[in-house]
């Protein structure tokens, strides 16, 4: 479960969020609606620990009881792409133009699990199939510019699917730090940042760390 408690944010002294509180339970889909500029993306970025320079937060962001706002960069890297993923708004800027889609979907597995490259690519194949991009139609060695906009968005969703999907046994067994330990065998939060609800627009996914 993830919960924001009285989350406030300022950027270079300008107030952006004031006392935002909500919680998402396992299996729950939670929608945050607001006019343009009201702070939806900043709320999502706060959950990911990806706020811009000059940002200061108050309040707490609790993931299974642990406060993410207190984690340093290293601990947050163990969570990002592992416990929490983000589907960003713009697939063209989310995807790396010079890496194949297979490599990009496999990346979180290589970072967060002990999967070999071959195993990670096999899971990437499964994830891409799950979002409607079976490799026989869209091979893993395609680059983002060789896909349609909608297909790119699907790649981004595949990237946000839980890293240890079908790979639990590869998780590191003896991480000394709590953040890495927390990433094993636990729930996963996917944060999608959409500009509007129409048009089937699932968009870009998080690049892990």
Ligand X SMILES: Nc1ncnc2c1ncn2[C@@H]1O[C@H](COP(=O)(O)OP(=O)(O)O)[C@@H](O)[C@H]1O
Give the footprint of ligand X on this chain (CB under 6 A): 11, 16, 34, 36-42, 52
Q: Name the closest residue to Mg ion (Cβ).
A: 41
What six digits make up the tokens of 84? Answer: 């929490």
Q: Which of Mg ion, ligand X, none does 36 bind, CB closer than 5 to 8 A by kind? A: ligand X
d(CA 182, CA 187): 10
Q: What value, to the nearest 5°, has the Cα angle with vertex 188 and ends 30 and 111?
A: 140
Shorter beta-carbon distance to ligand X: residue 6 or 38? 38
Distance of CA 205 to the CA centre of its chain: 6
Number of residues that bind Mg ion (CB under 5 A): 2
Shorter beta-carbon distance to ligand X: residue 53 or 176? 53
Instruction: Tell which residue, 119, 97, 120, has the closest CA to residue 107.
Output: 120
- One residue of 2, 4, 41, 167 binding Mg ion per CB under 5 A: 41
Shorter beta-carbon distance to Mg ion: residue 40 or 83? 40
Q: Which of Mg ion, ligand X, none does 16 bind, CB closer than 5 to 8 A by kind? A: ligand X
DSSP-derived 3-state class of residue 65: coil
d(CA 168, CA 47): 24
Shorter beta-carbon distance to ligand X: residue 57 or 108? 57
DSSP-derived 3-state class of residue 28: coil
Question: CB-based contacts of 196: which residues, under 8 Å, 6+ apart?
Answer: none
Shorter beta-carbon distance to ligand X: residue 156 or 191? 191
DSSP-derived 3-state class of residue 11: strand
**Minimum distance from CB of 48 to ligand X (Å)?**
13
Span interacting with Mg ion, options 18-26, 32-40, 54-62, 108-116, rule CB under 5 A: 32-40
Q: Where are the beta strands (DSSP E) in the chain?
A: 2-11, 14-24, 55-63, 66-67, 84-88, 189-192, 204-205
Span interacting with Mg ion, options 34-42, 52-60, 99-107, 145-153, rule CB under 5 A: 34-42
103: left (phi over 0), alpha (psi -120 to 50) or beta: alpha
**Minimum distance from CB of 15 to ligand X (Å)?**
10
Q: Name the closest residue to ligand X (Cβ).
A: 41
Shorter beta-carbon distance to ligand X: residue 39 or 183? 39
The residue ranges that bind Mg ion (CB under 5 A) are 40-41
């Amino acid at each position: 479960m993830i919960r924001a408690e009285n989350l406030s944010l300022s950027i270079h002294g300008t107030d952006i969020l004031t006392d935002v509180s909500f919680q998402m339970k396992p299996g729950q889909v939670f929608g945050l609606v607001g006019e343009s500029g009201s702070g939806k993306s900043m709320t999502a970025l706060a959950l990911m620990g990806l706020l811009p320079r000059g940002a200061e937060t108050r309040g707490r962001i609790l993931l299974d009881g642990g406060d993410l706002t207190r984690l340093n960069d290293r601990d947050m890297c163990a969570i990002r792409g592992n416990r929490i993923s983000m589907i960003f708004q713009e697939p063209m800027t989310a995807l790396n133009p010079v890496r194949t889609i297979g490599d990009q979907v496999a990346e979180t597995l290589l970072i967060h699990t002990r999967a070999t490259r071959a195993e990670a690519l096999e899971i990437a194949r499964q994830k891409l199939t799950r979002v409607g991009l079976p490799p026989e139609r869209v091979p893993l060695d395609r680059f983002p510019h060789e896909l349609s906009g909608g297909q790119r968005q699907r790649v981004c969703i595949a990237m946000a699917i839980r890293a240890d999907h079908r790979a639990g046994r590869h998780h590191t067994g003896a991480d000394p730090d709590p953040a890495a330990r927390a990433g094993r065998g636990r729930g996963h939060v996917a944060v999608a940042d959409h500009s509007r609800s129409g048009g089937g627009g699932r968009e870009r996914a998080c690049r892990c760390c």
